[in-house]
A and B are shown apart, each in its own frame.
Chain A
């Protein structure tokens, strides 16, 4: 097996959480995160707001500083690079953001926005050629050529997201990080953008890190899925294994809470009850203060050991890692059964 494109090892990101009485308080947004991503592969990252998904993405590109760990890109630790070298590497690592309009400079025309990566990464390309390449890219993402002379605010959310994707693709990235890239779009537009991303991936062979809270979209786009909770990895597995046989109680709760197929079927039948996850009311305790499992306060299966020791990620099946003391005892099956739909966990009173 060749070396992975991206290898993240024990990455930690901390933020200042304001000043305490005696010393500064630190908040750990990403904790002990490790994963690998191969060329052409899509890794879906899911978790609730505040679970550290976006911070993880930003730390990979060094848009926020990492406190510890390594981000190895083709074997080279990005965290060790100087500014100039980092800038050079960023050509291969591009990002698409959640708010398409806010991530585009309102004073630049679409053509200028698309030409900017070329001006930075390939300063020798002539004006005429730049124009040809931006036009080609606009056509590729499904926008007419006249778009070039207009400003971002003249376009709808879906069109702005196409512009954002076009800008990211201008430098022919090897990794595209999509941070909630379709979350603010209407359902009918969402599919168009997801399909555009998968098409671009098929053509270019780039890898994708697809961050989303929408599990249904992640299921269709990802090869592998990583579930985060309070900055930590709780479970990662190939797509089929994760959706057919989730092992971590949090993953199971997340899947059960989606108002998707189950609710629609319920509405079509006589009973019309919404799906209720096994997650009790919002737990308030900050993660860093607890020695044990971060999910313990919300977990109905928690026992003494969960409060004492933090569970480490261990392999339950090849490629299927889960960080839970109880997963073996709970007896959820890790066998891959692609035809099975995720059964709903029992709701404990």
Chain B
């Protein structure tokens, strides 16, 4: 349903070209949840914005993004704007800034249906009310009368998700939807996403810096580092045996609630390269404990291993 091929996003700033996304390819099938995991600066958000056509004017986008067979990158702005909200929806990390502060929740939500579905206001309002109930708001009738600032972070994120689902989109892009939320609320929002996806059979592109967050929902996980895909595998394969050293390090670094208490947390030395940095070899090589001389010289290409998983590494870890 969504096919991203060799997507590149480059920002031109003060004569320098900053490559945020470098040749990323991925697919999302109908009803499938694909997780994108990577640290800050790995290009996750720019990838989402490129798919949605929401990048700022100084961004240069290359490659192809096909949504239900339609090329989004060459689509005119009017067509994109018609697709967004109706077939293609996005939930942002910060629901506060994504909601209009001076409109009541009910009005903001109804407006989506009036605009995209041509519903009359009363019908749209009724649908908004129903959706608030479906996303688990305790008192939908009260919520439609409230302004965004009157709601807690968790409730605002529910409203955002409800709003993005009003037109029953085929694909939902959720960029760090739970990062600003408390753990208990996070569990509820993830559960809500899973339920809505089953109910509506929609595809989800779930972006997070936290492997554990996508673990419960995604069938397939794409790990990004420095703007590139380093590993793309079925979730269960990835957790069972990560093949890229960066994936393995990410998993080892996350402190755990189970298992022995550690005197020292496992760490990954160094830090990710900047987006402006020119890289000849593997971007992860300076931090990789398995790096050899080839890794510094030649960039590993994404190649397909057994079981349809892709890894960009000269010396993938054994299964």
Where the two chains meet, the residues of A that have a C-beta atom closer than 8 Å to any C-beta of B are 48-49, 156-159, 186-192, 194-195, 198, 213-217, 219-220, 239-240, 243, 253-264, 266-269, 272-277, 279, 281-282, 284, 341-342
CB of A203, distance to nearest CB on chain B (Å): 14
Helix, strand, loop or mixed for chain B's interface?
A: loop
Q: How far is the CA of A279 from the CA of B187 in the complex (A)?
A: 10
Q: Does B261 contact A (CB under 8 A)?
A: yes
Report chain B residues within 8 Å CB of A266. Answer: 215-216
Taking a contact as CB atoms under 8 Å apart, the answer to whether A187 and B190 are in contact is: no
Decide if B286 is an interface residue (CB 8 Å cutoff).
Answer: no
| B209–A282 touching, CB < 8 Å | no
* Cβ of B85 to closest chain A Cβ, rounded Å: 26
Contacts A157-B40, A276-B187, A281-B138 given; does A187 touch B253 at CB 8 Å: yes
Q: Which of these, A194, A195, A272, A282, contacts B216 with CB under 8 Å?
A: A272
Is residue B240 within 8 Å, beta carbon to beta carbon, of the partner chain?
Answer: yes
User: What chain B residues lie within 8 Å of A277 (beta carbons)?
Assistant: 183-184, 187-188
**Least CB separation from A281: chain B residue:** B138
B side interface size, CB within 8 A? 53
Interface of A is mostly: helix
A188 touches B212 (CB 8 A): no
Instruction: Tell me how far the C-beta of A69 lies from the nearest C-beta in chain B, rounded to whole angstroms.
Output: 26
Q: Residue B39 at the A interface, CB < 8 A?
A: yes
Q: Does B281 contact A (CB under 8 A)?
A: no
In the complex, which residue of chain A has the Cβ closest to the Cβ of B234? A267
In the bound complex, CA of A279 to CA of B181 (Å):
14
Instruction: Report the separation of the CA atoms of residues A272 and B211 in the bound assembly, to the nearest whole angstrom.
Output: 14
Specify which of B138, B239, B266, B271 is in contact with A156 (CB 8 Å cutoff).
Answer: B271
Write out, one digit per residue, whether chain B residues 173-213 have a CB within 8 A of any chain A CB (1) or not (0): 00000000011111110110010000000000000011111
**0 or 1 for each of B12-51: is its CB under 8 Å from A? (1 = yes):** 0000000000000000000000000001100000000000
Q: CA A282 – CA B155 in complex, angstroms?
A: 7
When distances are taken between beta carbons in the complex, the residues of chain B under 8 Å from A198 are 263-264
Q: Which of B153, B219, B250, B255 contacts A217 (CB 8 A)?
A: B255
Q: Is B235 an interface residue (CB 8 A)?
A: yes
In the bound complex, do residue B216 and residue A187 qualify as a contact, i.e. CB atoms below 8 Å apart? no
Does B265 sit at the interface, judged by CB under 8 A? yes
A-B CB proximity, top 10 nearest: A274-B216, A191-B265, A188-B268, A191-B267, A48-B182, A186-B39, A216-B255, A257-B187, A261-B258, A263-B216
Which residue of A is nearest B237, CB measured? A268
Q: Say how far B33's CB is from chain A's closest CB, in angstroms.
A: 9
Distance of A264 Cα from B249 Cα, bound (Å): 15
A240–B188 CA distance with the chains assembled, in angstroms: 27
A121 to chain B, nearest CB (A): 31
Chain A residue nearest to B238 (CB atoms) is A267
- Sample of 15 further A-B pairs with CB below 8 A, known A191-B265, A264-B212: A187-B39, A187-B253, A187-B254, A194-B265, A214-B255, A219-B257, A239-B261, A259-B187, A259-B216, A272-B235, A273-B216, A276-B188, A277-B187, A282-B154, A282-B155
What separation, in Å, do the CA atoms of A48 and B271 have in the docked complex?
29
Q: For the complex, what is the distance from the CA of A191 to the CA of B250, rounded to whole Å? A: 11
The interface centre, meaning the residue of A186, A273, A279 with most chain B CB atoms within 10 A of its CB, is: A186
Question: Is A220 a contact of B184 with CB atoms below 8 Å?
Answer: no
Given contacts A191-B266, A282-B155, contact A275 B255 (CB under 8 A): no
Q: Does B76 lie at the interface of the complex (its beta carbon under 8 Å from any beta carbon of A)?
A: no
- How many angstroms between the C-alpha atoms of A306 and B70 in the bound complex? 58
**What are 27 A-B interface contacts by the 8 Å CB criterion?**
A48-B183, A48-B185, A156-B271, A188-B39, A192-B267, A192-B268, A195-B264, A195-B267, A198-B263, A198-B264, A220-B262, A243-B257, A257-B187, A259-B213, A262-B258, A263-B215, A264-B239, A266-B216, A267-B215, A272-B216, A276-B191, A279-B188, A281-B188, A282-B155, A282-B185, A284-B152, A341-B257
B115 within 8 A of A: no
The answer on a CB contact under 8 Å between A188 and B267 is yes
Q: Which of A159, A191, A194 has the most CB of B within 10 A?
A: A191
Pick the residue among B152, B211, B257 that contacts A282 (CB under 8 A).
B152
Nearest chain B residue, comparing its CB with the CB of A47: B182
Given contacts A255-B257, A261-B256, contact A269 B188 (CB under 8 A): no
- Do B271 and A158 have beta carbons less than 8 Å apart? yes
User: Which residues of the other chain, A, contact B152 by a CB distance below 8 angstroms?
Assistant: 282, 284
Cα separation A187 to B252 with both chains bound (whole Å): 10
Return chain A residues, CB-CB under 8 Å to B218. Answer: 267
Rounded to whole angstroms, the CA-CA distance of A254 and B130 in the bound complex is 30
**B53 at interface by CB-CB < 8 Å:** no
Tell whether, in the assembled complex, residue B187 and residue A268 are in contact, meaning their CB atoms are under 8 Å apart.
no
B219 touches A257 (CB 8 A): no
Report if A188-B255 is in contact (Cβ < 8 Å); known contacts: A156-B271, A195-B267, A264-B215: no
Given A260-B256, A282-B152, A267 and B264 touching (CB < 8 A)?
Answer: no
CB distance from A217 to the nearest CB of B (A): 5
Please give me the residue from chain B that is nearest to A250 by CB atom: B184
In this assembly, does B136 line the interface, its C-beta being within 8 Å of a C-beta of chain A?
A: yes
Instruction: Assess whether B236 is interfacial by the CB under 8 Å rule.
Output: yes
Please tell me which one of the listed residues B191, B254, B263 contacts residue A274 in the complex, with CB atoms under 8 A apart.
Answer: B191
For B213, the chain A residues whose CB sits under 8 A away are 259
For B239, the chain A residues whose CB sits under 8 A away are 264, 267-268
Are B183 and A220 closer than 8 Å at their CB atoms? no
Tell me whether B114 is interfacial, beta carbon within 8 Å: no
* Cα separation A282 to B217 with both chains bound (whole Å): 22
Contacts of A282 in B (CB 8 A): 138, 152, 154-155, 185
A216 and B254 within 8 A (CB): yes
Asked if residues B215 and A259 are in contact (CB atoms below 8 Å), the reply is: yes
Residue of B nearest to A218 (CB): B255
Contact B253 A190 (CB under 8 A): yes
Within the assembled complex, what's the spacing in Å between the Cα atoms of A258 and B216?
11
Residue B259 at the A interface, CB < 8 A? yes
- Nearest CB to that of A49 among chain B residues? B182
